[in-house]
Structure 1
Amino acid sequence: MVRASARDEDVLFAARVSTKGEQSLADVDAEAGRSAGLINYLMRDRHGSPFEHTSMTFYVQAPIFVFREFMRHRIASYNEESGRYRELRPVFYVPGPERALVQQGKPGAYEFVAGSEAQHSLVIAQTRRACEVAYEAYQRMLEEGVAREVARIVLPLTTYSSMYVTVNARSLMNFLSLRTKDSEARFPSYPQREIEMCAELMEQGWASLMPLTHAAFVQNGRVAP
Protein backbone atom coordinates (compact mmCIF):
# COMPACT_ATOMS: atom_id res chain seq x y z
CA MET A 1 0.00 0.00 0.00
CA VAL A 2 1.46 3.34 -1.03
CA ARG A 3 -1.19 5.79 0.15
CA ALA A 4 -4.37 5.65 2.20
CA SER A 5 -7.13 7.73 3.67
CA ALA A 6 -8.99 4.95 5.41
CA ARG A 7 -9.94 4.65 9.07
CA ASP A 8 -12.78 3.06 10.98
CA GLU A 9 -13.71 6.60 12.06
CA ASP A 10 -14.44 7.51 8.43
CA VAL A 11 -17.28 5.00 8.41
CA LEU A 12 -18.84 6.45 11.55
CA PHE A 13 -19.31 10.08 10.59
CA ALA A 14 -20.47 9.08 7.11
CA ALA A 15 -23.12 6.83 8.67
CA ARG A 16 -24.25 9.31 11.33
CA VAL A 17 -25.05 12.09 8.89
CA SER A 18 -28.23 10.11 8.14
CA THR A 19 -29.62 10.84 11.61
CA LYS A 20 -27.56 13.78 12.88
CA GLY A 21 -27.02 15.98 9.84
CA GLU A 22 -24.50 18.73 10.56
CA GLN A 23 -24.03 17.42 14.09
CA SER A 24 -22.20 14.46 12.57
CA LEU A 25 -19.22 16.80 12.07
CA ALA A 26 -18.49 16.27 15.75
CA ASP A 27 -17.90 12.58 14.97
CA VAL A 28 -15.14 13.15 12.40
CA ASP A 29 -12.46 12.43 14.99
CA ALA A 30 -14.57 10.31 17.34
CA GLU A 31 -12.95 7.26 18.86
CA ALA A 32 -13.96 4.30 16.73
CA GLY A 33 -13.48 1.76 19.50
CA ARG A 34 -16.63 2.95 21.20
CA SER A 35 -18.67 2.38 18.06
CA ALA A 36 -17.71 -1.12 17.00
CA GLY A 37 -21.37 -2.09 17.35
CA LEU A 38 -22.41 0.49 14.74
CA ILE A 39 -19.81 -0.77 12.28
CA ASN A 40 -20.97 -4.33 12.82
CA TYR A 41 -24.60 -3.29 12.36
CA LEU A 42 -23.80 -1.56 9.06
CA MET A 43 -21.93 -4.64 7.88
CA ARG A 44 -24.55 -7.14 9.05
CA ASP A 45 -27.51 -5.29 7.54
CA ARG A 46 -25.54 -4.34 4.41
CA HIS A 47 -25.70 -0.57 4.71
CA GLY A 48 -22.70 -0.22 2.46
CA SER A 49 -22.31 3.41 1.44
CA PRO A 50 -20.54 4.63 4.64
CA PHE A 51 -17.66 2.26 3.81
CA GLU A 52 -17.15 4.09 0.51
CA HIS A 53 -15.79 7.20 2.28
CA THR A 54 -12.29 5.77 2.29
CA SER A 55 -9.48 5.41 -0.21
CA MET A 56 -6.49 3.07 -0.51
CA THR A 57 -3.90 2.87 -3.26
CA PHE A 58 -1.93 -0.35 -3.73
CA TYR A 59 1.09 -0.94 -5.94
CA VAL A 60 0.79 -4.40 -7.50
CA GLN A 61 3.38 -6.39 -9.43
CA ALA A 62 2.00 -9.54 -10.98
CA PRO A 63 1.78 -11.50 -14.25
CA ILE A 64 -0.44 -10.05 -16.96
CA PHE A 65 -2.93 -12.92 -16.63
CA VAL A 66 -3.52 -11.84 -13.01
CA PHE A 67 -4.16 -8.26 -14.14
CA ARG A 68 -6.86 -9.51 -16.48
CA GLU A 69 -8.66 -10.96 -13.46
CA PHE A 70 -8.18 -7.77 -11.47
CA MET A 71 -9.80 -5.71 -14.18
CA ARG A 72 -12.92 -7.82 -14.14
CA HIS A 73 -13.64 -5.80 -10.99
CA ARG A 74 -14.99 -2.54 -12.38
CA ILE A 75 -15.06 -1.00 -8.90
CA ALA A 76 -11.49 0.30 -8.72
CA SER A 77 -9.23 2.68 -10.60
CA TYR A 78 -6.24 1.18 -12.41
CA ASN A 79 -3.11 2.64 -13.99
CA GLU A 80 -0.77 0.05 -15.47
CA GLU A 81 2.78 0.09 -16.79
CA SER A 82 2.69 0.55 -20.57
CA GLY A 83 4.52 -1.67 -23.02
CA ARG A 84 4.08 1.10 -25.60
CA TYR A 85 6.19 3.58 -23.70
CA ARG A 86 8.88 1.47 -22.01
CA GLU A 87 10.80 -1.67 -22.79
CA LEU A 88 9.37 -4.52 -20.73
CA ARG A 89 11.76 -6.40 -18.48
CA PRO A 90 12.46 -10.14 -18.81
CA VAL A 91 10.62 -11.00 -15.61
CA PHE A 92 8.23 -13.94 -15.85
CA TYR A 93 6.10 -15.96 -13.47
CA VAL A 94 6.97 -19.65 -13.29
CA PRO A 95 4.78 -21.75 -10.96
CA GLY A 96 6.65 -23.11 -7.96
CA PRO A 97 6.45 -26.67 -6.66
CA GLU A 98 3.73 -25.66 -4.17
CA ARG A 99 1.34 -24.70 -7.01
CA ALA A 100 -1.45 -27.27 -7.43
CA LEU A 101 -1.64 -28.20 -11.11
CA VAL A 102 -4.46 -30.66 -11.74
CA GLN A 103 -8.14 -29.69 -11.78
CA GLN A 104 -10.61 -32.30 -10.60
CA GLY A 105 -14.38 -32.02 -10.90
CA LYS A 106 -16.67 -29.97 -13.10
CA PRO A 107 -16.92 -26.17 -13.43
CA GLY A 108 -18.43 -24.69 -10.29
CA ALA A 109 -17.60 -27.77 -8.22
CA TYR A 110 -13.94 -28.56 -8.60
CA GLU A 111 -10.67 -28.55 -6.73
CA PHE A 112 -7.00 -28.49 -7.59
CA VAL A 113 -4.56 -31.16 -6.48
CA ALA A 114 -0.79 -31.14 -6.47
CA GLY A 115 0.06 -33.10 -9.60
CA SER A 116 3.00 -35.40 -10.15
CA GLU A 117 6.67 -34.55 -10.04
CA ALA A 118 6.81 -35.10 -13.78
CA GLN A 119 3.98 -32.61 -14.35
CA HIS A 120 5.73 -29.98 -12.23
CA SER A 121 8.96 -30.50 -14.13
CA LEU A 122 7.09 -30.19 -17.43
CA VAL A 123 5.34 -26.97 -16.44
CA ILE A 124 8.56 -25.35 -15.24
CA ALA A 125 10.60 -26.42 -18.27
CA GLN A 126 8.01 -25.47 -20.88
CA THR A 127 7.18 -22.14 -19.25
CA ARG A 128 10.83 -21.15 -19.10
CA ARG A 129 11.42 -22.26 -22.69
CA ALA A 130 8.41 -20.32 -23.99
CA CYS A 131 9.47 -17.18 -22.11
CA GLU A 132 13.06 -17.35 -23.37
CA VAL A 133 11.98 -17.79 -26.98
CA ALA A 134 9.38 -15.02 -26.74
CA TYR A 135 11.71 -12.50 -25.12
CA GLU A 136 14.43 -13.25 -27.67
CA ALA A 137 11.92 -12.48 -30.45
CA TYR A 138 10.87 -9.30 -28.62
CA GLN A 139 14.48 -8.11 -28.34
CA ARG A 140 15.21 -8.99 -31.97
CA MET A 141 12.35 -6.80 -33.17
CA LEU A 142 13.37 -3.91 -30.93
CA GLU A 143 16.94 -4.12 -32.21
CA GLU A 144 15.62 -3.87 -35.78
CA GLY A 145 13.73 -0.70 -34.96
CA VAL A 146 10.25 -2.17 -34.56
CA ALA A 147 8.04 -0.07 -32.28
CA ARG A 148 7.62 -1.32 -28.69
CA GLU A 149 3.85 -1.50 -29.11
CA VAL A 150 4.30 -3.97 -31.97
CA ALA A 151 7.21 -5.97 -30.57
CA ARG A 152 5.38 -6.66 -27.31
CA ILE A 153 2.73 -8.77 -29.03
CA VAL A 154 4.94 -11.86 -28.83
CA LEU A 155 5.31 -11.73 -25.03
CA PRO A 156 3.36 -14.31 -22.98
CA LEU A 157 0.71 -13.68 -20.34
CA THR A 158 3.15 -14.74 -17.65
CA THR A 159 5.17 -11.54 -18.21
CA TYR A 160 5.20 -9.36 -15.12
CA SER A 161 3.61 -5.92 -15.20
CA SER A 162 2.95 -3.30 -12.52
CA MET A 163 0.04 -1.05 -11.67
CA TYR A 164 -1.57 1.16 -9.08
CA VAL A 165 -5.00 0.14 -7.83
CA THR A 166 -7.12 2.66 -5.94
CA VAL A 167 -10.18 1.35 -4.17
CA ASN A 168 -12.52 2.17 -1.27
CA ALA A 169 -13.22 -0.24 1.57
CA ARG A 170 -16.59 -1.37 0.25
CA SER A 171 -15.14 -2.20 -3.16
CA LEU A 172 -12.17 -3.93 -1.58
CA MET A 173 -14.50 -6.14 0.46
CA ASN A 174 -16.30 -7.11 -2.74
CA PHE A 175 -12.94 -8.00 -4.30
CA LEU A 176 -11.83 -10.00 -1.27
CA SER A 177 -15.12 -11.90 -1.07
CA LEU A 178 -14.48 -13.24 -4.56
CA ARG A 179 -10.69 -13.53 -4.69
CA THR A 180 -9.94 -15.27 -1.40
CA LYS A 181 -10.95 -18.72 -0.28
CA ASP A 182 -12.01 -18.96 3.37
CA SER A 183 -13.79 -21.79 5.13
CA GLU A 184 -15.76 -19.25 7.21
CA ALA A 185 -17.10 -17.35 4.20
CA ARG A 186 -20.88 -17.41 3.81
CA PHE A 187 -20.55 -17.84 0.06
CA PRO A 188 -17.68 -20.07 -1.12
CA SER A 189 -15.22 -18.71 -3.64
CA TYR A 190 -12.63 -20.54 -5.73
CA PRO A 191 -10.10 -17.94 -6.90
CA GLN A 192 -7.07 -18.66 -9.02
CA ARG A 193 -4.20 -18.95 -6.58
CA GLU A 194 -2.07 -16.22 -8.17
CA ILE A 195 -4.66 -13.47 -7.72
CA GLU A 196 -5.50 -14.81 -4.26
CA MET A 197 -1.89 -14.19 -3.21
CA CYS A 198 -2.29 -10.54 -4.22
CA ALA A 199 -5.63 -10.32 -2.42
CA GLU A 200 -4.17 -11.74 0.78
CA LEU A 201 -1.50 -9.03 0.91
CA MET A 202 -4.05 -6.32 0.17
CA GLU A 203 -6.28 -7.63 2.95
CA GLN A 204 -3.40 -7.50 5.43
CA GLY A 205 -2.77 -3.84 4.63
CA TRP A 206 -6.45 -2.95 4.88
CA ALA A 207 -6.91 -4.82 8.16
CA SER A 208 -4.11 -2.80 9.75
CA LEU A 209 -5.82 0.46 8.75
CA MET A 210 -9.41 -0.47 9.60
CA PRO A 211 -9.31 -3.29 12.18
CA LEU A 212 -12.92 -2.87 13.35
CA THR A 213 -14.28 -2.87 9.82
CA HIS A 214 -12.17 -5.86 8.89
CA ALA A 215 -13.31 -7.75 12.00
CA ALA A 216 -16.95 -7.05 11.15
CA PHE A 217 -16.36 -8.22 7.58
CA VAL A 218 -14.96 -11.52 8.84
CA GLN A 219 -17.61 -11.92 11.56
CA ASN A 220 -20.41 -11.50 9.05
CA GLY A 221 -19.22 -14.16 6.65
CA ARG A 222 -16.94 -12.06 4.43
CA VAL A 223 -19.91 -10.62 2.57
CA ALA A 224 -19.44 -7.13 1.11
CA PRO A 225 -22.10 -4.73 2.43
Structure 2
Amino acid sequence: MNDLPSFRSDITVELVKHSASDTDVLWAARVSTAGEQSLEEVGKDPERSKGLINFLMRDRHGSPFEHNSMTFLVSAPIFVFREFHRHRVGWSYNEESGRYRELKPVFYVPGEDRNLVQEGRPGKYRFVPGTAGQRSLVRKVLEESYLRSYEAYQEMLAAGVAREVARAALPVGLFSSMYATCNARSLMHFLGLRTQDERAKVPSFPQREIELVGRRMEEEWARLMPLTHAAFNANGRVAP
Protein backbone atom coordinates (compact mmCIF):
# COMPACT_ATOMS: atom_id res chain seq x y z
CA MET A 1 0.00 0.00 0.00
CA ASN A 2 1.20 3.52 -0.79
CA ASP A 3 -0.80 5.04 2.09
CA LEU A 4 -1.67 3.72 5.52
CA PRO A 5 -5.42 3.18 5.89
CA SER A 6 -7.24 5.52 8.24
CA PHE A 7 -10.70 5.41 9.78
CA ARG A 8 -12.80 8.41 10.69
CA SER A 9 -16.34 9.34 11.67
CA ASP A 10 -16.20 13.10 11.10
CA ILE A 11 -17.76 14.66 8.02
CA THR A 12 -16.54 18.07 6.93
CA VAL A 13 -18.27 20.89 5.06
CA GLU A 14 -16.47 24.08 4.05
CA LEU A 15 -18.03 27.14 2.45
CA VAL A 16 -15.64 27.84 -0.42
CA LYS A 17 -17.27 30.91 -1.96
CA HIS A 18 -20.61 32.65 -2.04
CA SER A 19 -22.70 35.43 -3.43
CA ALA A 20 -25.60 35.32 -1.02
CA SER A 21 -27.38 37.85 1.18
CA ASP A 22 -30.90 38.75 2.25
CA THR A 23 -30.71 41.78 -0.04
CA ASP A 24 -30.61 39.42 -3.04
CA VAL A 25 -34.12 38.28 -2.18
CA LEU A 26 -35.43 41.83 -1.95
CA TRP A 27 -34.25 43.29 -5.25
CA ALA A 28 -35.37 40.13 -7.03
CA ALA A 29 -38.83 40.40 -5.51
CA ARG A 30 -39.30 44.14 -5.97
CA VAL A 31 -38.56 44.14 -9.70
CA SER A 32 -42.13 42.91 -10.22
CA THR A 33 -43.51 46.23 -8.92
CA ALA A 34 -40.60 48.67 -9.15
CA GLY A 35 -38.81 47.64 -12.33
CA GLU A 36 -35.33 49.17 -12.60
CA GLN A 37 -35.85 51.05 -9.34
CA SER A 38 -35.55 47.71 -7.57
CA LEU A 39 -31.78 48.19 -7.82
CA GLU A 40 -32.11 50.69 -4.98
CA GLU A 41 -32.53 47.71 -2.65
CA VAL A 42 -28.89 46.69 -3.19
CA GLY A 43 -27.56 49.37 -0.85
CA LYS A 44 -30.32 49.31 1.75
CA ASP A 45 -30.49 47.52 5.08
CA PRO A 46 -32.51 44.31 4.48
CA GLU A 47 -33.75 44.41 8.08
CA ARG A 48 -36.27 47.08 7.07
CA SER A 49 -37.89 44.64 4.64
CA LYS A 50 -37.85 41.42 6.65
CA GLY A 51 -41.65 41.42 6.50
CA LEU A 52 -41.46 41.03 2.72
CA ILE A 53 -39.08 38.08 3.08
CA ASN A 54 -41.48 36.43 5.51
CA PHE A 55 -44.42 37.09 3.14
CA LEU A 56 -42.57 35.51 0.23
CA MET A 57 -41.71 32.47 2.34
CA ARG A 58 -45.19 32.13 3.82
CA ASP A 59 -47.04 32.40 0.51
CA ARG A 60 -44.41 30.34 -1.32
CA HIS A 61 -43.22 32.87 -3.85
CA GLY A 62 -40.01 30.96 -4.39
CA SER A 63 -38.12 32.48 -7.33
CA PRO A 64 -36.67 35.50 -5.43
CA PHE A 65 -34.77 33.01 -3.25
CA GLU A 66 -32.86 31.69 -6.28
CA HIS A 67 -30.76 34.82 -7.05
CA ASN A 68 -27.79 33.83 -4.90
CA SER A 69 -25.12 31.15 -4.84
CA MET A 70 -23.15 29.10 -2.32
CA THR A 71 -20.38 26.59 -3.08
CA PHE A 72 -19.41 24.00 -0.48
CA LEU A 73 -16.56 21.50 -0.34
CA VAL A 74 -17.88 18.32 1.27
CA SER A 75 -15.80 15.40 2.51
CA ALA A 76 -17.97 12.39 3.32
CA PRO A 77 -18.41 8.65 2.64
CA ILE A 78 -19.56 7.74 -0.86
CA PHE A 79 -22.92 6.51 0.43
CA VAL A 80 -23.70 10.07 1.56
CA PHE A 81 -23.08 11.39 -1.94
CA ARG A 82 -25.33 8.74 -3.46
CA GLU A 83 -28.19 10.16 -1.39
CA PHE A 84 -27.08 13.74 -1.98
CA HIS A 85 -27.14 13.42 -5.77
CA ARG A 86 -30.87 12.74 -5.71
CA HIS A 87 -31.19 16.50 -5.21
CA ARG A 88 -30.86 17.76 -8.78
CA VAL A 89 -32.90 20.93 -9.23
CA GLY A 90 -30.82 23.98 -8.33
CA TRP A 91 -27.69 21.95 -7.54
CA SER A 92 -24.37 21.49 -9.37
CA TYR A 93 -21.81 18.84 -8.42
CA ASN A 94 -18.23 17.90 -9.21
CA GLU A 95 -16.85 14.90 -7.32
CA GLU A 96 -13.43 13.32 -6.95
CA SER A 97 -12.97 10.71 -9.69
CA GLY A 98 -11.67 7.18 -9.26
CA ARG A 99 -11.01 7.08 -12.99
CA TYR A 100 -8.41 9.82 -12.90
CA ARG A 101 -6.68 9.46 -9.55
CA GLU A 102 -5.71 6.68 -7.17
CA LEU A 103 -8.19 6.78 -4.31
CA LYS A 104 -6.83 7.17 -0.79
CA PRO A 105 -7.64 4.59 1.93
CA VAL A 106 -9.77 6.78 4.20
CA PHE A 107 -12.86 4.97 5.47
CA TYR A 108 -15.95 5.70 7.53
CA VAL A 109 -16.53 4.02 10.89
CA PRO A 110 -19.47 5.27 13.00
CA GLY A 111 -18.56 7.36 16.02
CA GLU A 112 -19.73 6.77 19.57
CA ASP A 113 -22.63 9.17 19.09
CA ARG A 114 -24.06 7.25 16.10
CA ASN A 115 -27.05 5.01 16.98
CA LEU A 116 -26.57 1.56 15.46
CA VAL A 117 -29.78 -0.43 15.94
CA GLN A 118 -33.10 0.07 14.14
CA GLU A 119 -36.27 -0.87 16.00
CA GLY A 120 -39.84 -1.03 14.71
CA ARG A 121 -41.18 -1.11 11.18
CA PRO A 122 -40.77 1.30 8.25
CA GLY A 123 -42.58 4.54 8.95
CA LYS A 124 -42.52 3.98 12.70
CA TYR A 125 -39.02 2.78 13.42
CA ARG A 126 -36.45 4.45 15.62
CA PHE A 127 -32.72 4.11 16.15
CA VAL A 128 -31.15 3.23 19.48
CA PRO A 129 -27.47 3.18 20.51
CA GLY A 130 -27.00 -0.61 20.64
CA THR A 131 -24.76 -2.56 22.97
CA ALA A 132 -21.04 -2.27 23.55
CA GLY A 133 -20.68 -5.64 21.84
CA GLN A 134 -22.51 -4.44 18.73
CA ARG A 135 -20.40 -1.30 18.59
CA SER A 136 -17.21 -3.31 18.86
CA LEU A 137 -18.43 -5.72 16.17
CA VAL A 138 -19.28 -2.91 13.75
CA ARG A 139 -15.83 -1.37 14.08
CA LYS A 140 -14.04 -4.72 13.79
CA VAL A 141 -16.00 -5.96 10.76
CA LEU A 142 -15.87 -2.65 8.90
CA GLU A 143 -12.16 -2.15 9.42
CA GLU A 144 -11.34 -5.70 8.32
CA SER A 145 -13.59 -5.38 5.27
CA TYR A 146 -12.08 -2.03 4.30
CA LEU A 147 -8.54 -3.41 4.58
CA ARG A 148 -9.34 -6.42 2.40
CA SER A 149 -11.05 -4.34 -0.26
CA TYR A 150 -8.24 -1.80 -0.41
CA GLU A 151 -5.64 -4.56 -0.66
CA ALA A 152 -7.58 -5.98 -3.61
CA TYR A 153 -7.69 -2.52 -5.20
CA GLN A 154 -3.93 -2.08 -4.77
CA GLU A 155 -3.26 -5.58 -6.12
CA MET A 156 -5.12 -4.81 -9.33
CA LEU A 157 -3.42 -1.44 -9.76
CA ALA A 158 -0.01 -3.06 -9.28
CA ALA A 159 -0.89 -5.58 -12.00
CA GLY A 160 -1.63 -2.75 -14.44
CA VAL A 161 -5.43 -2.82 -14.23
CA ALA A 162 -7.03 0.54 -15.04
CA ARG A 163 -8.13 2.65 -12.07
CA GLU A 164 -11.70 2.78 -13.38
CA VAL A 165 -11.86 -1.03 -13.24
CA ALA A 166 -9.94 -1.61 -10.01
CA ARG A 167 -12.14 0.84 -8.07
CA ALA A 168 -15.03 -1.65 -8.33
CA ALA A 169 -13.48 -3.45 -5.34
CA LEU A 170 -13.90 -0.42 -3.07
CA PRO A 171 -16.84 0.02 -0.65
CA VAL A 172 -19.29 2.90 -0.27
CA GLY A 173 -17.73 3.64 3.13
CA LEU A 174 -14.72 5.14 1.32
CA PHE A 175 -14.39 8.90 1.78
CA SER A 176 -14.75 11.10 -1.27
CA SER A 177 -14.86 14.85 -1.81
CA MET A 178 -17.04 17.07 -3.95
CA TYR A 179 -17.99 20.65 -4.66
CA ALA A 180 -21.71 21.30 -4.32
CA THR A 181 -23.21 24.60 -5.48
CA CYS A 182 -26.77 25.67 -4.72
CA ASN A 183 -29.03 28.63 -4.09
CA ALA A 184 -31.10 29.31 -0.98
CA ARG A 185 -34.26 27.81 -2.43
CA SER A 186 -32.62 24.52 -3.40
CA LEU A 187 -30.83 24.39 -0.04
CA MET A 188 -34.12 24.89 1.81
CA HIS A 189 -35.63 21.97 -0.08
CA PHE A 190 -32.61 19.85 0.85
CA LEU A 191 -32.85 20.85 4.51
CA GLY A 192 -36.57 20.11 4.62
CA LEU A 193 -35.86 16.52 3.63
CA ARG A 194 -32.46 15.88 5.19
CA THR A 195 -32.74 17.38 8.67
CA GLN A 196 -34.98 16.77 11.66
CA ASP A 197 -36.41 19.80 13.40
CA GLU A 198 -39.36 20.26 15.75
CA ARG A 199 -40.40 23.38 13.80
CA ALA A 200 -40.89 21.45 10.56
CA LYS A 201 -44.47 21.14 9.31
CA VAL A 202 -43.55 17.93 7.52
CA PRO A 203 -41.43 15.51 9.56
CA SER A 204 -38.36 13.96 7.99
CA PHE A 205 -36.24 10.98 9.01
CA PRO A 206 -32.88 11.39 7.29
CA GLN A 207 -29.86 9.17 7.61
CA ARG A 208 -27.62 10.57 10.31
CA GLU A 209 -24.58 11.10 8.09
CA ILE A 210 -26.34 13.23 5.47
CA GLU A 211 -28.07 15.19 8.24
CA LEU A 212 -24.62 16.18 9.53
CA VAL A 213 -23.84 17.62 6.08
CA GLY A 214 -27.15 19.48 6.05
CA ARG A 215 -26.62 20.95 9.51
CA ARG A 216 -23.21 22.32 8.60
CA MET A 217 -24.49 23.82 5.37
CA GLU A 218 -27.37 25.38 7.29
CA GLU A 219 -24.98 27.00 9.78
CA GLU A 220 -23.14 28.76 6.94
CA TRP A 221 -26.34 29.77 5.15
CA ALA A 222 -27.86 31.17 8.37
CA ARG A 223 -24.81 33.38 8.77
CA LEU A 224 -25.07 34.68 5.19
CA MET A 225 -28.86 35.13 5.02
CA PRO A 226 -30.15 35.40 8.62
CA LEU A 227 -33.53 36.95 7.73
CA THR A 228 -34.26 34.31 5.10
CA HIS A 229 -33.19 31.57 7.48
CA ALA A 230 -35.45 32.95 10.22
CA ALA A 231 -38.40 33.09 7.84
CA PHE A 232 -37.71 29.49 6.78
CA ASN A 233 -37.92 28.35 10.41
CA ALA A 234 -40.94 30.53 11.19
CA ASN A 235 -42.90 29.03 8.30
CA GLY A 236 -42.41 25.36 9.02
CA ARG A 237 -39.08 24.77 7.25
CA VAL A 238 -40.85 24.25 3.92
CA ALA A 239 -39.06 25.43 0.79
CA PRO A 240 -41.09 28.12 -1.03
Please tell me whether residue 102 in structure 1 is matched to residue 120 in structure 2.
Answer: no
Q: How far is 1:132 from its partner? A: 0.3
- Structure 1 SS opposite 2:188: helix
In the TM superposition, what whole-angstrom CA distance separates every residue of 1:96-147 from its partner, at most 9, and x where no partner exists? 1221111112212221111111111111100000000000111111111111
5 Å-filtered alignment, 1:47-126, equals 47-75=61-89, 76-126=91-141
5 Å-filtered alignment, 1:25-36, equals 25-36=39-50
CA distance in 2, matches of 1:91, 1:144: 22
- Structure 2 SS opposite 1:43: helix
Q: How far is 1:29 from its partner? A: 2.2
Match of 2:154 in 1: 139
Match of 1:216 in 2: 231
Match of 2:221 in 1: 206
- Structure 1 SS opposite 2:43: coil
Match of 2:51 in 1: 37
Please give the TM-score of this superposition, normalised by the length of structure 2: 0.92
Counterpart residue type for residue 196 of structure 2: K
Q: How far is 1:65 from its partner? A: 0.2
Query: Sequence identity, in percent?
Result: 67
5 Å-filtered alignment, 1:116-195, equals 116-195=131-210
CA distance in 2, matches of 1:127, 1:6: 40
Runs of 4+ more than 6 Å apart: none
Match of 1:17 in 2: 31
- Structure 1 SS opposite 2:99: coil
Q: What do you get for the CA RMSD once the two structures are aligned?
A: 0.7
Q: How far is 1:159 from its partner? A: 0.2
- Structure 1 SS opposite 2:127: strand
- Structure 2 SS opposite 1:10: helix
Unaligned segments of structure 1, at least 5 residues: none
In the TM superposition, what whole-angstrom CA distance separates every residue of 1:41-92 from its partner, at most 9, and x where no partner exists? 1111111100000100000000000000100111210000000000000000
CA distance in 2, matches of 1:36, 1:62: 35
Q: How far is 1:185 from its partner? A: 1.0
CA distance in 1, matches of 2:23, 2:111: 41
Please give the TM-score of this superposition, normalised by the length of structure 1: 0.98
Counterpart residue type for residue 59 of structure 1: L
Counterpart residue type for residue 28 of structure 1: V
- Structure 2 SS opposite 1:106: coil
Unaligned segments of structure 2, at least 5 residues: 1-14
- Structure 2 SS opposite 1:163: strand
CA distance in 2, matches of 1:218, 1:42: 13
Work out which of the residue numbers 11, 19, 27 in structure 2 matches 1:5. Answer: 19
Counterpart residue type for residue 36 of structure 1: K
